[in-house]
C-alpha cells in the first residue's frame, strides 16, 4: 500500500524535474534592453539621473508602488 509520504515525494520529484527543464532565457522579459536616460526624485526628493547611477553600478531596478498611500 502506497503511503501519503510516497505519493507526496513522487509528486514533488515530478514537479522539480519539470521546473528544472524550463528554459530560463524565454522568461527573462526585457533584460538587456537599454532604457532612455531619465531623471526621477528619490525618497529624499533629490533628483537622480539614470546615467549617474549606471556610472557606479552595472544595472538598476525601478520599483513602483502605485497604491502605497503616500502623500506625494
- Give the tens place of pLDDT for each residue, 5-37: 888 888 878 777 776 655 555 555 666 777 889
Residues 6 or more apart from 54 whose CB is under 8 A from it?
60
Share of the chain above pLDDT 70, in %: 67
What are the Cα distances from residue 56, in Å, to 5, 30, 34?
51, 21, 17
Amino acid at each position: 500500500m502506497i503511503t501519503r509520504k510516497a505519493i507526496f515525494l513522487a509528486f514533488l520529484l515530478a514537479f522539480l524535474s519539470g521546473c528544472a527543464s524550463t528554459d530560463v532565457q524565454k522568461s527573462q522579459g526585457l533584460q538587456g534592453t537599454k532604457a532612455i536616460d531619465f531623471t526621477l526624485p528619490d525618497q529624499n526628493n533629490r533628483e537622480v539621473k539614470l546615467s549617474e547611477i549606471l556610472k557606479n553600478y552595472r544595472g538598476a531596478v525601478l520599483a513602483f508602488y502605485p497604491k502605497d498611500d503616500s502623500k506625494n
